[in-house]
Amino acid sequence: MKKRYIFSCLVAGATFMASCTKNFEAINTDPNKTTGNLINPNYFLSQSQITFSQTGYDQLLFQSEWMQSLASTFSYYYNGDKYVFGGAGSGYFSYPWNRTYSALTLIVEMQALIKDKPEYTNLNACATILRVMEVQRLTDLYGDVPYSEAGLAKSGNFTPKYDAQQAIYADMLAQLDAATAALDASKVGPTADLFYKGDVSKWKRLGYSMMLKLGMRLVKVDPATAKTYAEKAFAGGTMSSIADDAKVMADPANATSSNSDVMRTPDDFREVRWGKTLIDYMKSKNDPRIPAIAEIAIGNGLAANQNQTAGDNTASLQQGMPNGYTISSIANAPGYPGATPAASATDAPAPLGKYSRPRFQVYADRGSANYIYTYGESELLLAEAASRGWNTGVAATHFANALTADMKTLAGYNATPIATVSDAAIATYVAANPLNPATALQQINLEYWVTTSATFNYNETFANWRRSGFPVLTPVVFPGQYITGQVPRRMPYPTSQLQQNGANYNAAVQRQGADNFATRVWWDK
């Protein structure tokens, strides 16, 4: 009996082992684990788009106030407003870096999944265009960055080399050229596309518009290459209307706009104001966008100034705040409009209450747009190229198109249009501001400053200012600055890079120059 029991057990055990051996892979595979065969690669594109588009403090703490588009007396914003570290400012060096590499890694992973799969030809090309958009922002801000070895941590490369910006631009242009040419409108497009809902023809226009932008970045350092690619982009077909604007509409139920999150933070809402430099310029031009983007608090006192509701957007009441002042010194600023008095015995005066802030309903809308690149910007770059004598059409026509587009684009900032400018006001403004060949570069790039400021695209504002020299800005003077006598030209690398990737970091610094705010990137020499 005992022997028979043991035998039975051995037979059963042998049978079980054989069964396990036969189905070993199936039985030992986690049914909840995601693999390349289970996930739709299209979702990598949309996730990369939303990740890349969310800028928030990435650009509002430094770039927006370096460009004197915004201003603040709040100590947290000393970082950008006064070139003085405040509120752990150096920690924000890593914000654009981390966000962009997070977005870029998704593209690298997706392209690995769809490699050699012809049904994803258009998705692959769109992903390459998006990757170029991401890398351009990164290298424009920092200079030399990991590129050829970026996003390969999964393969074990945790210390990627920094590529020289000149080599990065050459490769981006080549990649962009090939990807844009590869797009085929007769084949299926991306199925989870937050820019254009899979419209391949719009992606093709975006590709050529990106080629134009990359080319025009090089006007100071390599005008011959700039001309070649600007003309090629124009011949290929750049954006044709505001329907081609590259943007991501945030979703309040899932991913709110990071810009709106900043504007809804009590201290930021109370302290961030439109800059005097920007508003003064717009008022000098009788710009009809002023009431679309600016407002002052309704009512007196600190309580009214902090109340997160719509303000008064009457154009004549708007006044920008100068950069470089504190809450205790703002009363000494030239043209100070005065504080709004306390509304009650339990209230307090509002020192900034009469300065213009970004309109709450527009910029604090959790479902508002994250703009990346617009038709108006593309037309301005074509206007500049034509003004330089290049074969990109008629400069005056492009400029007029841009003025119209820049104003109409604002209506797309919100699902229900709020920042609207009437057709009549647009027509009047365009007629009153024709392009003058003698001042064309100034006119074009001042408009570029205004439109990218109005769409909260301050990474682009900062890049184009360095490229063009417009607007001409007076540096802020304040005690304890990290840079003096000039407006910053670059963002330093994240402080963690020295510890995490020291050898490659040091090689980049030796090649490019000191890791500080004054060192210019290659195309800004």
Tell me the C-alpha distance between 416 and 409, whole Å: 13
What's the mean pLDDT in 396-408?
98
Cis? peptide before 471, omega within 30° of 0: yes
Tell me the C-alpha distance between 322 and 277, whole Å: 7
In order of 47, 134, 229, 277, 375, the CA distances from 372 in angstroms are 15, 10, 20, 23, 11
Stated pTM of the model: 0.92
Q: The tokens of 57 are what?
A: 């403090």
Closest CA to 380 of 286, 293, 450, 285: 450
Helix (H) or strand (E) holding 358: strand 357-358
| pLDDT surpasses 50 at 486 | yes
Contact 215, 228 (CB under 8 A): yes
Helix (H) or strand (E) holding 32: none
What's the mean pLDDT in 470-481?
98
The CATH architecture to which 45-245+366-524 belongs is: Alpha Horseshoe (1.25)
Closest CA to 433 of 450, 417, 419, 420: 450
What's the mean pLDDT in 151-165?
92
The pLDDT of residue 25 = 43
Tell me the C-alpha distance between 420 and 291, whole Å: 9
The pLDDT of residue 11 = 32
In order of 83, 279, 339, the CA distances from 316 in angstroms are 31, 11, 18
As a whole number of Å, the end-to-end CA separation of the chain is: 93
Residue 254: pLDDT band by 50, 70, 90 thresholds? Answer: confident
**Dihedral, 346, 351, 356, 359 alpha carbons, nearest 10:** -30
Residue 38: pLDDT band by 50, 70, 90 thresholds? Answer: low
Residue 31: pLDDT band by 50, 70, 90 thresholds? Answer: very low
Q: The tokens of 513 are what?
A: 């120059």
Helix (H) or strand (E) holding 500: helix 497-500
